[in-house]
Amino acid sequence: MDELREEADRIQAELASAEQEWQEWVIARRRVDTVLGPNGGTTDDAEVAEDRRDADAPLAPRDAVKSQVPVWREELPWSVLSVDYQRILKALADRVRLGQGPLTCQEMAAAFGMDLVPARVEALRSKAKRLVARGWLAEPAPGRFTLAASVTGTTGGS
């Protein structure tokens, strides 16, 4: 039984890695499509809701461009982010307001009512890591996310 569990864990880890690599290829393809697209690379009104779409589903035309996450700066409202990113910020702001600690992506997925499958959790992790890279979130411990110290707990007027 232990050997089978170890094998299942190894396969799940490989699957998660393959899904992450596939997601990176999808993102790269979208960027190329954006640059080579008929609108000359503008991203107005284009958002992607990765965690609401099956991985096998074909891309709709409006999904051809990935949401942009600007670098955080003073006075930048949360409304510049897509709804998915705002939802992550709101969940973490609520935790700060209640004096609770950071959240894992699995805890966020559960709080959002998402299926707790690797693809959904990894999509959230990708978004959270992007928010960390842009200064919106902090990752005080590996895999645990909270608002960055400079980001307020308000929605910036949105």
CATH of the domain at 95: 1.10.10
Total domains present in the chain? 2
83 and 55 part of one domain: no
Do 91 and 53 have their domain in common?
no
Q: Which domain holds residue 85?
A: 78-147
Query: Is residue 56 domain-resident?
Result: yes
Do 29 and 60 lie in a common domain?
yes
pLDDT in tens, 53-99: 444 434 334 443 456 888 888 888 888 888 899 999 999 999 999 98
Q: pTM of the entire structure?
A: 0.55
Query: Tell me, what DSSP letter sits at residue 66?
Result: P
The single-letter code of the amino acid at 111 is: A
10 Å Cβ neighbour count for 94? 13
Q: Are residues 37 and 88 in the same domain?
A: no
Tell me: do 88 and 143 sit in the same domain: yes
C-alpha separations of 118 from 39, 96, 97, 108, 127 in Å: 34, 26, 29, 13, 14
Edge-to-edge strand ranges of the sheet holding 103-104 = 103-104, 144-147, 137-141
Whether the per-residue pLDDT at 48 is higher than 70: the answer is: no
Do residues 8 and 51 both lie within one domain? yes
Question: 101 in a domain, yes or no?
Answer: yes
